Amino acid sequence: MRTLVCLFLLLSMPVPRAIFAAGPVELADAWINEAPPTINVHAGYIRIKNKSDREIRLLSADSDAYEKIEFHLSKITDGIASMQKQENITIASNSEFAFSPGAYHLMLINNKRPLRAGDSVQLLLYFDHDMTLQVEAEVRKADPHAQHHHHH
Amino acid sequence: MIKNRVLLASIIVVICVILGAGVGYYTSNLLPGEKSTNPGIPGLLWPAPKVILPFAAVDQKGKLFTHEQLDGKWSFLFFGYTHCPDICPVTMSILRQVYENLVKSNNAENVQVIFISVDPERDTPETLAEYTAYFHKDFIGLTGSREQIEQLARIIGIAYVHGEKNASGGYLVDHTASIFLISPVREWTGIFSAPHDAEDITRGFRAIESFVGKNTP
């Protein structure tokens, strides 16, 4: 039975790796910060939950809407903002990792079509253990209030 | 007797002068050039705000923008670049919120928000026009020659560093994350350090504006 399911999955998917809808890793709240039309570098955010007992690494990401996707960390050190490219992202066992504004983000480079708030973009996330997850990210306007709750 | 009256009158005059001076001091009728002490308002740079020296840059309409355009207005300055996808749009959205707060309370006529590009090669006036208008139609964007931007950064005293180009020609720029507040007499009077919060900055600005208004001779 298990072999049959695997075979079915392999046959039905155009990509060589299997795509899991659910499993040890869950993706939530994927979104892309809408940018002015002339800007072709966007930031994407997502929460990744690792429900397994082993560490999982996010190796790369891909989308038909962008030329390239990198992982970056925004940092403010001594008042200076900088971004550091991350080769991969480690998600500890039974924990959640969040890409969020002002910290880790997906740097989405050169959009191939105009993207406005309300549009959605397919992202493919490639993890180790030969696991690929697909997620739909909504393009939306950032709400500055959403990121700073300490006064409310 | 007459001599005594003159003496008494003189003493009264002296006392009045001393009292008057005291009252004058405490209502902050400061002498020109004199500044009161810092009352501890967060972000207030006082009593020795730095004077912004003359500079020239190009605004989002392609027009000359100089130090003189800072006169008579409170200016919020933020240094960034349009290829910065994370921190810059977050900060610009916060500045929009601050500006909208001030518009709502009729405080905005003497306020301007200026985005200064630390990446003048990629940030043309046209790019900046669309970028700044996306956040608010009133926002100003400054670019210019590499020398002009370097001069402006030196005048404010900020640092920025261009990273190495990658295979596709893209590069990152490290830059100050703070928002600077320049007073209508072109003095650098306030600084808002990251992480930013729109309500904190609005409150901070109102406190600084009111304090400087009362304490400038």
In terms of average pLDDT, the best of A65-69, A74-78, B13-17 is A65-69
Give the β-pairing of B56-59 and B64-66: antiparallel
Mean local confidence (pLDDT), B70-89 = 95
Neighbours of B73 (CB within 10 A): 16
**Contact yes or no for A82 and B97 at CB 8 A:** no
ipTM of the complex: 0.74
Which of A147, A149, A150, A152 has the most B C-beta neighbours within 10 Å, making it the best mutation to test the interface with B? Answer: A147
Instruction: Please report the pLDDT score of residue B159 as a whole number.
Output: 83
Q: List the domain range (segments joined by +) for residue A132.
A: 20-141
Instruction: Please state the rounded mean pLDDT for residues B101-119.
Output: 94
Interface test with A, best of B78, B84, B86 (most A CBs within 10 A): B86
**Domain membership flag for residue A148:** no
CA distance A124 to A136: 9
Mean pLDDT, range B20-25, rounded to an integer: 41
**Nearest-CA distance B119 → chain A (Å):** 13
Q: Is A147 inside any structural domain?
A: no
CA R_g for chain A: 17
Number of domains forming the structure of chain A: 1
- Residues of B within 8 A of A148 (CB-CB) are 195, 197-198
In the predicted structure, residue A106 carries a pLDDT above the cut 80: yes
User: Which of residues 83 through 112 in chain A touch B, CB cutoff 8 A?
Assistant: 83, 101-102, 105, 107-109
Query: What does the alpha-carbon distance between residue B45 and residue B49 come to, in Å, rounded to a whole number?
Result: 6
Averaged pLDDT, B90-115: 94
Q: Chain A 37-56, CB below 8 Å of chain B: which residues? A: 37-39, 41-43
pTM to 2 decimal places: 0.80
pLDDT reported for residue A62: 96
A11: in domain = no
- Give residue-wise pLDDT tens across range A75-101: 999 889 999 999 999 999 999 999 999
Within-domain flag for A150: no
CATH number reported for the structural domain that contains residue A93 in this entry: 2.60.40.1890
- A-chain residues within 8 Å CB-CB of B97? 144-145
Q: Is the pLDDT of residue B19 over 50?
A: no
Q: Confirm whether A120 is domain-assigned.
A: yes
User: Does some domain include residue A15?
Assistant: no
How far CA B56 is from CA of B35, B128, B145, B148, in Å, comes to: 29, 17, 10, 6
Q: Measure B134 CA to nearest chain A CA, in Å.
A: 6
Task: Classify residue A58: in a domain, yes or no.
Answer: yes
pLDDT above 80: residue B114: yes
What's the rounded Cα separation, in Å, for the pair B54 and B186?
10
The rounded mean pLDDT for chain B is 87
Under 8 Å between Cβ of B64 and B56: yes
